[in-house]
Amino acid sequence: MATDISAHPASSRTMQGGEMLQGDEVVAMLRLHELGWGAKRLSKEFGCARNTVRRYLREGGAVPFKKPVRRSAFDGLDDWLRERFFRHDGNADVIRQELASEHGIVIGLRSVELRVRQWRRELKAQKRATVRFETPPGRQLQIDFGQTRVWIGGERIRVYVFVATLGYSRRIHIRASLREGQTDWFEGMEGAFLRFGGVPSEVLLDNAKPLVEHHDAVTREVRFNARLWAFAHYWGFTPRACAPYRARTKGKDERGVGYVKRNAIAGRQFESWAQFEAHLERWTRDIADKREHGTTGMPPAERFAAEAGMLRPLAGRAPFGQLRDLVRKVQADCAIDLDTNSYSVPWRLIGESVQVVVLADRVIVRHAGQVVADHAVCRGRRQRIVDRAHFIGVAGVEAPVQAAPIEIAASALLRPLAEYEAVAGGGW
């Protein structure tokens, strides 16, 4: 029997019994069925199972392949996975641990990595994105610390560089130190206030441990150090912390520390620390203040003219850092620890708690209302400052035993607590 069957392009293939029928073969099968061919005859003609022929006839054409729906351990957790992915900065292993602890899902690390990889490009773009915003004159000061190694006196030493940048004019202040403690942050800010002749409304900082005790990356809850609050209250500014691990949320990616290290320090050697500080001061005045800024298009010194009058006046305030009132315990080596350095005290006070006041570059140690030790502040790190008189009477020390108690006149620094409170800015 001759049949006129028009061929159609095969748009899909159907698997049966290990073989595949082309789309035009299925069309031919349907036409032959219309001419009276039965399923048995069609199965022999096309070499396929009778049930396959019946399925084609029932569906009226080729049956597209349907991928079976497979269940996954992550079903229903897409929103949870996405939130945890960005919370943990893309750390799939932490997500795997929380899947087990919170959902009871024990699964391999590779499975989690494959599931969350769809968001990695977004996370990478988010980290690189910077939303630049401009602050009005006198509004904001951004501060940061960096470290580098500098050749000073023929020795390559580690130096910490404090950089403060005014948000409007982009004028900068630099202070170099041998440490990055809370005192160094405070002295850096006070140096900036003195250089700029006033105090801005707010100071934006990173989440440095000496200043920020806790900052939740999700809720943005910030808990500043109590002494920072006292410092801010004393000078009259509001502290602000950028998002954790997102220094770019400062708004301006100034890279002030990098600019100082590459331009002012790199490749230079200095005979002394004083020469190094003098160079930074000269470079700030002659280079940084006079350069044409890439964003504002103006030299920071010229743009500062519109900002100087918007800063809060200093009002003759003394430095907050001139007074530090601490309590320390005298160690077995006849010394108290302060800022990684140790300062000697009379050996008879071993095990006692003493009052330590840091004032005007002096370390004053008191016990029972009397000054028992007075040292110059050491600017180095891990140094031992010793007054040999404190060891008189100790076995092995070449000096006569002093039987009489140490009599030292009360220092003028022994002031009422009300004066300390006034210097610290009072209650807050």
- Say which residues have a Cβ less than 8 Å from residue 263's Cβ, sequence separation at least 6: 283, 287, 288
The string of pLDDT tens digits covering residues 112-127 is 999 899 998 888 887 6
Tokens of 366: 């008191």
Tell me, what DSSP letter sits at residue 237?
Answer: -
Q: Are 335 and 356 in contact (CB under 8 A)?
A: no
pLDDT at residue 151, as a whole number: 93
* Amino acid at residue number 191: G
Q: Alpha helix locations (H) across 171-318?
A: 182-196, 226-235, 256-259, 273-283, 300-303
Please state whether 255 falls in left (phi above 0), alpha (psi between -120 and 50) or beta: left
Please report the pLDDT score of residue 412 as a whole number.
44
pTM summary value: 0.52
Contact 359, 371 (CB under 8 A): no
What is the distance between the alpha carbons of residues 93 and 108, in angstroms, rounded to a whole number? 9
**Which pLDDT score is estimated for 424?**
54
Q: HSE, CB side, 13 Å, CA atoms: give it for residue 216.
A: 4
Under the phi-then-psi rule, with left for phi > 0, alpha for psi from -120 to 50, and beta for the rest, what region is 96?
alpha
CB-count exposure of residue 256 (10 Å: 0-12, 13-18, 19+): buried
pLDDT of amino acid 381: 80
Residue 246: alpha-carbon gap to chain centroid? 6
Per-residue pLDDT reduced to its tens digit, 347-368: 999 999 999 988 767 899 999 8
Neighbour tally for 207: CB within 10 Å? 18
User: Furthest-apart CA pair in the chain: how many Å?
Assistant: 135
pLDDT of residue 7: 39
Q: Measure CA 294 to chain center.
A: 25
Residue 269, pLDDT score: 92
Per-residue pLDDT tens digits of the chain, which is 428 residues long: 444 443 333 333 444 344 556 778 888 888 888 888 998 998 888 888 888 888 888 888 776 666 677 788 888 888 999 999 988 888 888 899 889 989 898 999 999 999 899 998 888 887 666 555 678 898 999 999 999 999 999 999 999 999 999 999 999 999 999 988 888 999 999 999 999 999 999 999 888 888 888 877 666 678 888 888 888 988 999 999 876 655 555 545 457 888 898 888 888 899 999 999 999 999 999 999 998 887 788 999 999 999 999 999 988 887 886 667 889 999 999 999 998 899 999 999 999 999 998 876 789 999 988 999 999 988 788 899 999 999 988 766 654 434 344 444 444 444 555 555 555 555 54
Residue 47: how many other CB atoms lie within 10 Å: 10
Helix-, strand-, coil-residue percentages of the chain, each rounded to 5: 35, 20, 40
CA–CA dist 242, 30 (Å, integer): 70
**What domains are there in the chain, each with its CATH number?**
1-67 (1.10.10.60), 78-127 (no CATH), 140-310 (3.30.420.10), 320-424 (no CATH)
* Token pair belonging to 131: 């939303």
Q: What is the DSSP string of 303-366?
A: HGGGTGGGSBP-TTPPPGGGEEEEEEEPPTTSEEEETTEEEE--GGGTT-EEEEEEETTEEEEE
